[in-house]
């Protein structure tokens, strides 16, 4: 058991699981708690939006800070921020305080880029997608388990779920403090150079240079498009199911659990095997095709069987796309800035989580129940077109050589492995 707790992969999967489960645990209660504080439907929506807005702003920042100060202190700090946000949410006495609490919660939950950077630090190239898949599986599992536990705990009192989420976040911070080794070492940088870099405030700089790399930019745009497409589906599916089948929240909850389980199985077990056989880029393309097809079929899902097939197809697609995109991002970025790159990608994905639901709601109102799924399918198809050209396996470094012999060997392994796959 001690060995398991010392595994960086396990600890990062646990950290992200707690992030998502904690969010999911209070998710069923937030609308009612906000309503109790005088919120109208628009303001209730703002509570979710402000959480994603905080992630959009701070995920790249925390990722960059983890490159400078190490992964461990940033992850511990983020967990403590989350714990504070849960307590503040539970004891919020006004809508303004609740909004502040959820914004702080979004800051705490902005550690996914840092967690993915830990995975990139400790996994070889051939195991990168499998490691990222564990993070994706933790996200899916958190969304399945969190709301269910929150519903049970709410029977013991309104504040109880918030306090439980706080305690779990603190325990997770203690586990990370006790068992997670620091996985990021800044190599090949002199103390004098490091001092100059710090003086220039480079933690928050350099994004323009990164985005000039065609491969990274394409992967980040792909992440934005498919995230917006999937969250658009999530935002209006309940309304669509009510319109077509007359379903209530209970039936919709079962369907989302079905989607979550498929994603967990895909990312937690199958992705690693599929990458070994087909390679990251081919699996990314296949996943985008499945996601686009599943979304396009949803408007025509007028029977339960057809609905389950459509959702199954898009869930398998999402389960393939999420970890392979992160794996390709880590494989094509320099080791010294992987936290910044992965944090930037996740921050942009948070923008998709803001825009996707808003666009889906507007499209639903203007063009009918099936329209948001068609638009989401088109967005995914655009991402597919971006993914088709062959991707190089590493950044071209005109001014920077690999830091050590080990880096040369690893880069050569990546090049040979991926060249054979593409």
Helix, strand, coil percent content, the chain, rounded in steps of 5:
85, 0, 15
Q: What band does 208 get if pLDDT is binned at 50, 70 and 90?
A: low
Structure confidence by residue, pLDDT tens digits, 162-192: 898 899 889 889 988 988 888 877 544 444 4
Q: Does residue 145 sit within a domain? A: yes
How far is the C-alpha of 343 from the C-alpha of 111, rounded, in Å? 8
Sequence-separated (6 or more) residues with CB below 8 Å from residue 357: 48, 231, 232, 234, 235, 236
Q: What band does 9 get if pLDDT is binned at 50, 70 and 90?
A: confident
Structure confidence by residue, pLDDT tens digits, 253-285: 788 778 888 888 888 778 888 988 888 889 999
Residue indicated by tokens 């930019």: 217
Same structural domain for residues 94 and 231?
no
Structure confidence by residue, pLDDT tens digits, 317-352: 999 998 899 888 888 877 777 778 888 888 888 888
Q: Does residue 192 sit within a domain? A: no
Same structural domain for residues 255 and 336?
yes
State the angle between helix axes of 304-331 and 271-278 in degrees (0 to 180), rounded to the nearest 10.
60
How far is the C-alpha of 417 from the C-alpha of 132, rounded, in Å? 18
Over residues 45-60, the mean pLDDT reads 82
Same structural domain for residues 129 and 212?
no
Residue 305, pLDDT score:
95
- Which CATH number is 78's domain given? 1.20.1250.20
Asked whether 249 and 239 are in contact (CB, 8 A), the reply is no
Same structural domain for residues 321 and 213?
yes
Over residues 79-92, the mean pLDDT reads 92
Report the mean per-residue pLDDT for the chain.
Answer: 79
The larger pLDDT score, comparing residue 422 to residue 347, is at: 347
Q: Which of 180, 198, 224 is the last residue of a domain?
A: 180
Residue 383, pLDDT score:
95
Sequence-separated (6 or more) residues with CB below 8 Å from residue 265: 319
pLDDT at 193 over 50: no
Residue 236, pLDDT score:
83
Q: Does residue 27 sit within a domain? A: yes
Same structural domain for residues 1 and 111?
yes
The larger pLDDT score, comparing residue 309 to residue 339, is at: 309
Q: Does residue 187 sit within a domain? A: no
Same structural domain for residues 414 and 326?
yes
The larger pLDDT score, comparing residue 301 to residue 180, is at: 301
Same structural domain for residues 273 and 420?
yes
Q: What is the CA radius of gyration of the chain?
A: 21
Q: Is the dihedral of CA 28, 89, 264, 347 positive or negative?
A: positive
Same structural domain for residues 305 and 413?
yes
How far is the C-alpha of 376 from the C-alpha of 310, rounded, in Å? 14
Q: At 29, is the secondary structure helix, strand, or coil?
A: coil
The larger pLDDT score, comparing residue 69 to residue 196, is at: 69
The larger pLDDT score, comparing residue 356 to residue 406, is at: 356
How far is the C-alpha of 323 from the C-alpha of 337, rounded, in Å? 19
Backbone angles phi, psi at 57, to 5 degrees: -75, -45
Asked whether 327 and 129 are in contact (CB, 8 A), the reply is yes
Q: Does residue 185 sit within a domain? A: no
Q: Does residue 201 sit within a domain? A: no
Residue indicated by tokens 């050209």: 389
Asked whether 346 and 63 are in contact (CB, 8 A), the reply is yes
| H helix count then E strand count, the chain | 19, 0
pLDDT at 226 over 50: yes
Residue 412, pLDDT score:
38
Q: Give the highest mean pLDDT range of 153-157, 204-208, 301-305.
A: 301-305
Same structural domain for residues 306 and 355?
yes
Tell me how long the chain is: 422
The larger pLDDT score, comparing residue 294 to residue 92, is at: 294
pLDDT at 161 over 60: yes
Same structural domain for residues 283 and 217?
yes
Same structural domain for residues 238 and 379?
yes
How far is the C-alpha of 310 from the C-alpha of 258, rounded, in Å? 12
Q: Which domain holds residue 1?
A: 1-180
Ramachandran quadrant class, 279 (left: phi over 0; alpha: psi -120 to 50; beta: rest): left
Q: Does residue 290 sit within a domain? A: yes
Asked whether 323 and 138 are in contact (CB, 8 A), the reply is no
pLDDT at 74 over 50: yes
Instruction: Name the domain count of the chain.
Output: 2
pTM, rounded to two decimals: 0.71
Q: Does residue 109 sit within a domain? A: yes
Sequence-separated (6 or more) residues with CB below 8 Å from residue 263: 136, 137, 140, 315, 318, 319, 322
Over residues 400-418, the mean pLDDT reads 36
The larger pLDDT score, comparing residue 280 to residue 27, is at: 280
Element (H, E) at 132: helix 128-153
Same structural domain for residues 149 and 217?
no
């Amino acid at each position: 058991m001690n060995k398991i707790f010392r595994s960086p992969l396990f600890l990062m999967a646990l950290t992200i699981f707690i992030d998502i489960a904690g969010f999911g645990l209070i998710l069923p209660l937030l609308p009612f708690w906000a309503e109790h504080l005088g919120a109208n439907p628009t303001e209730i929506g703002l509570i979710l939006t402000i959480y994603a807005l905080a992630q959009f702003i701070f995920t790249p920042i925390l990722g960059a800070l983890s490159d400078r100060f190490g992964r461990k202190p940033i992850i511990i700090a983020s967990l403590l921020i989350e714990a504070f946000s849960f307590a503040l949410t539970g004891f919020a006495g006004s809508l303004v305080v609740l909004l502040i609490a959820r914004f702080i919660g979004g800051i705490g939950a902005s550690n996914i880029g840092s967690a993915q950077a830990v995975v990139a630090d400790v996994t070889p190239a051939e195991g990168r997608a499998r490691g990222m898949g564990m993070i994706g599986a933790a996200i899916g599992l958190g969304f399945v388990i969190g709301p269910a536990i929150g519903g049970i705990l709410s029977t013991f009192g309104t504040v109880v779920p918030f306090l439980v989420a706080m305690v779990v976040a603190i325990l997770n911070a203690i586990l990370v403090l006790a068992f997670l080794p620091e996985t990021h070492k800044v190599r090949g940088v002199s103390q004098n150079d490091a001092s100059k870099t710090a003086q220039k405030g480079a933690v928050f700089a350099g994004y323009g240079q990164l985005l000039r790399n065609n491969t990274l930019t394409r992967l980040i745009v792909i992440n934005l498009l498919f995230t917006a497409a999937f969250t658009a589906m999530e935002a209006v599916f309940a309304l669509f199911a009510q319109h077509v089948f007359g379903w209530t929240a209970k039936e919709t909850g079962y369907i989302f659990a079905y989607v979550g389980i498929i994603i967990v199985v895909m990312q937690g077990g199958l992705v690693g095997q599929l990458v070994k056989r087909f390679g990251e880029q081919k699996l990314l393309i296949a996943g985008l095709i499945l996601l686009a097809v599943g979304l396009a079929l949803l408007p025509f899902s007028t029977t339960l069987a057809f609905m389950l097939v459509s959702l199954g197809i898009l869930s398998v697609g999402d389960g393939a796309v999420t970890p392979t995109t992160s794996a390709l991002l880590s494989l094509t970025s320099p080791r010294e800035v992987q936290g910044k790159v992965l944090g930037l990608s996740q921050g942009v994905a948070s923008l998709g989580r803001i825009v996707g639901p808003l666009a889906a709601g507007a499209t639903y109102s203007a063009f009918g129940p099936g329209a948001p799924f068609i638009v989401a399918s088109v967005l995914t198809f655009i991402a597919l077109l971006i993914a088709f050209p062959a991707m190089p396996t590493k950044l071209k470094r005109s001014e920077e050589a690999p830091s050590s012999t080990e880096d040369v060997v690893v880069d050569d392994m990546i090049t040979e492995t991926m060249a054979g796959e593409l």
